[in-house]
Every structure is written in structure tokens, then in C-alpha cells.
């Protein structure tokens, strides 16, 4: 899983509303060369960030009228996604299920309601979810009705134990039983964007007592993200005073559990420069004990200054909310806190770093308010 991190860094992706312009040079943690990331719209005032983002509403969406293109998906494909979401709303499925369903249909059919494809057909697979009449999904006529096929998908998903906290690819595979079980995860970021565009941000929400509300700490938003610790931002991303600070510092106390922010694969779990047997200091180099996780869409999260050896190893698959270590002050640190970074496009250097406050807010997993 480390292959995406090798070679020349590619152009940074632009998920959701983020517009990133990358800077130069890199150092692993809290020091290094000057680098800049410029965000559009939402980054101009972090204090107003939460107010700028919706978390869905009570109304069932309409599947009529015109739909805008989203990424590679044209109006007809987005309309099919809207039918999937509307069906989930009518069935009272939590919005995490809408993201899973849309991502599954993206993999199975590119959100196109395929009939029989002749020699290219996978057995007798049909429709948005490529369901097979011979496997008991329904008649060909039923399966070709997007509302019916979405209903059948949700009915099976809701029978999967713990589906809401499973990695998307695991939940989708338990419904679909695909020959390519790991293929669904790559669609999660764009499926999240489509659901948000159709529902005024429901992928940033959780469903509580039948009502959508923005996710809080300890809750996993419909996008599959959660904050790593429940603490205030005590040092922000690339300030005038610390322009080479490529993440944020979250002021959690020593031994506070650190949560994986989303499902993914651990790609780094080690002591940075071999001085992790004691507390660090401002003159100590590196991250101390730290972990990096590779998520869908080639997003990397980094968690620094752990108090002791991480609880996960390279190659481990983790789910959002899994405990990966505890807060400490090893490495380049003046006191217990979590230094948290987000990198795009599989780029571990400062060129790939983006503001975690903006990134996490867009995914319904807001970090604490930046210190003034």
C-alpha cells in the first residue's frame, strides 16, 4: 500500500469546495521550510466555517428537473444517484447508507441503468447495482427500476451487523458479494460529494431519533469521518508565526485515546528519529511516535507525538473511530498534544498538506475552534 507515496508527487486533488495551491519543500512534523496552501471561499474565515456548511434537512429530495454534472457524472447519472438517495430517505435509512449505496452503484454501473450488455454482461447482471435475477434479486423488469433496485440494496445492507461503522468497502461487499471486494472504497469521496450536493450536506450528518443533525465528536459522519480527539486547536495551520506548521495541534491531555479519522490502511507506525523513550522538547526533531493512514481517494492522515508505541502496525486495516494510540509529547513538542495533518493525492510532503480544519469540516468531522 506504500506505492502511491513513491515517485514524483502528482497534482493535488480538489475534493468538494477545496482549492489548493501547493508550496515547496518538506519536513515531517512541526518545523521545516516555508510553504503555503491557499483555500477558496470557506478558508477566508475559519470562525464562520461551520455556519457555511449544511448537514441536510427533513425534506425528501426531488428527482425531477435538471441536474448538474458532478465530476465525471452527467445529469442522467446524477439523477440516478438522486433516486438512490430519495429511496434511502423514504426508507428512513441513515445518510451513511446513501453514501454507501451511491458509491456501490458508481462501481457497479457508473450510475448508469444498464440493461443486458450482451457478451460484456456479467452473467445476468442488470441495473444500477448489477443485480442478478438468477440470484433472487427480482425479475429483470423489477431490477431495471432504479427505485426497486435501490430498495433491495438497502434491505440487504440494513441486515449487515454494524454496517454504519464498517469501512464502506466492507459494508458494500457484504451486500454485493463482488469479485472485486476492495473496489468500492475509491468511490467514497465522490459519492460523498454527490450526496452533499443533492441534500445540502447530509453526508456531514448523523441520523438521531429520525432527524438529521451535524455529527459531533465521537460520532462518525455519513461521509465516514470523525475527529481524532475532542480538543481545541491550540496551534493552527501555517500561521504567520509558524508558516511551516503543516498541520494543527489539538490540545488533548496525555494518554487521551487517538482515533483513526476514517477507515484506511496504516502505512507508517514508528518512532520518527529514534528518540521516543522520553518526552520531547522544542529542540527535539521529528514527530516522535507517529502513525500515518492511507484513506480512500489517496488522502493521508498523520498523527504525531504519541506517548508510547502506537497500537497499530503497518498494513493494519482500521475503521473510523478505532483507537490507534494515545496522546503524548514525544519528538518536537513542548507539551502533550496531538499534531494532526491531512495530505492529498498520496503526497506525504508539505506540498500535499492542506488545512485539517477546513478538510474535516467539509466532511462533517469538525475540529475544535482555532485559537485566537
pLDDT(233) > 60: yes
DSSP 176-189: H--S-TTSSGGGHH
pLDDT(12) > 70: no
353 or 218: whose pLDDT is higher?
A: 353
Burial of 211 (0-12, 13-18, 19+ CB in 10 A): exposed
Residue from 370, 308, 272, 295 nearest 30 by CA: 272
What is the model's pTM?
0.82
pLDDT(184) > 50: yes
Beta bridge partners of 328: 337
| Tens-digit pLDDT profile for residues 45-99 | 443 455 467 999 889 999 999 999 999 999 999 999 999 999 999 999 999 999 9
Can you tell me the mean pLDDT for 253-275? 95
Q: Is 351 helix (H, G, I), strand (E, B) or coil?
A: helix
The mean of the pLDDT values for the chain is: 85
| Tens-digit pLDDT profile for residues 268-314 | 999 998 789 999 999 999 999 999 999 999 999 999 999 999 999 99
Range of weakest confidence among 22-36, 103-117, 153-167, 232-246: 22-36
pLDDT(181) > 80: no
* Conformational region of residue 128, where left means phi above 0, alpha means psi within -120 to 50, and beta covers everything else: alpha
Percent of the chain predicted with pLDDT > 90: 74
Amino acid at each position: 500500500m506504500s506505492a502511491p507515496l513513491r515517485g514524483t508527487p502528482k497534482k493535488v486533488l480538489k475534493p468538494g469546495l477545496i482549492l489548493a495551491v501547493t508550496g515547496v519543500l518538506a519536513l515531517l512534523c512541526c518545523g521545516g521550510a516555508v510553504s503555503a496552501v491557499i483555500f477558496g471561499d470557506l478558508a477566508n474565515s475559519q470562525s464562520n466555517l461551520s455556519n457555511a456548511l449544511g448537514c441536510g434537512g427533513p425534506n425528501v429530495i426531488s428527482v425531477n428537473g435538471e441536474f448538474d454534472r458532478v465530476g465525471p457524472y452527467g445529469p442522467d447519472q446524477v439523477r440516478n444517484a438522486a433516486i438512490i438517495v430519495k429511496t434511502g430517505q423514504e426508507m428512513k435509512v441513515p445518510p451513511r447508507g446513501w453514501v454507501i449505496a451511491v458509491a456501490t452503484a458508481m462501481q457497479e454501473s457508473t450510475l448508469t441503468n444498464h440493461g443486458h450488455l450482451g457478451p460484456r454482461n456479467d452473467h445476468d447482471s442488470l441495473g444500477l447495482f448489477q443485480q442478478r435475477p438468477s440470484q433472487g434479486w427480482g425479475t429483470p423488469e423489477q431490477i431495471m427500476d432504479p427505485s426497486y433496485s435501490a430498495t433491495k440494496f438497502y434491505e440487504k445492507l440494513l441486515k449487515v451487523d454494524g454496517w454504519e461503522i464498517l469501512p464502506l468497502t466492507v459494508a458494500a461487499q457484504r451486500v454485493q458479494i463482488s469479485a472485486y471486494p476492495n473496489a468500492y472504497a475509491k468511490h467514497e469521496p465522490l459519492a460523498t460529494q454527490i450526496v452533499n450536493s443533492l441534500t445540502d450536506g447530509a453526508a456531514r450528518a448523523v441520523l438521531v431519533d429520525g432527524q438529521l443533525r451535524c455529527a459531533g465528536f465521537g460520532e462518525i459522519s455519513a461521509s465516514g469521518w470523525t475527529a481524532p480527539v475532542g480538543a481545541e486547536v491550540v496551534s493552527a495551520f501555517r500561521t504567520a508565526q509558524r508558516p511551516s506548521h503543516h498541520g494543527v495541534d489539538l490540545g488533548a491531555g496525555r494518554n487521551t485515546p487517538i482515533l483513526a479519522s476514517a477507515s484506511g490502511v496504516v502505512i507508517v507506525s514508528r518512532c520518527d528519529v529514534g528518540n521516543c523513550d522520553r518526552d520531547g522538547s522544542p529542540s527535539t526533531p521529528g514527530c516522535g511516535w507517529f502513525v500515518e493512514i492511507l484513506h480512500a481517494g489517496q488522502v493521508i492522515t498523520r498523527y504525531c507525538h504519541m506517548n508510547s508505541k502506537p497500537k497499530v502496525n503497518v498494513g493494519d486495516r482500521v475503521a473510523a473511530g478505532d483507537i490507534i494510540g494515545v496522546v503524548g509529547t514525544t519528538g518536537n513538542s513542548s507539551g502533550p498534544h496531538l499534531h494532526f495533518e491531512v495530505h492529498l493525492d498520496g503526497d506525504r510532503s508539505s506540498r500535499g498538506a492542506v488545512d485539517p480544519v477546513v478538510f474535516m469540516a467539509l466532511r462533517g468531522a469538525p475540529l475544535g475552534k482555532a485559537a485566537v
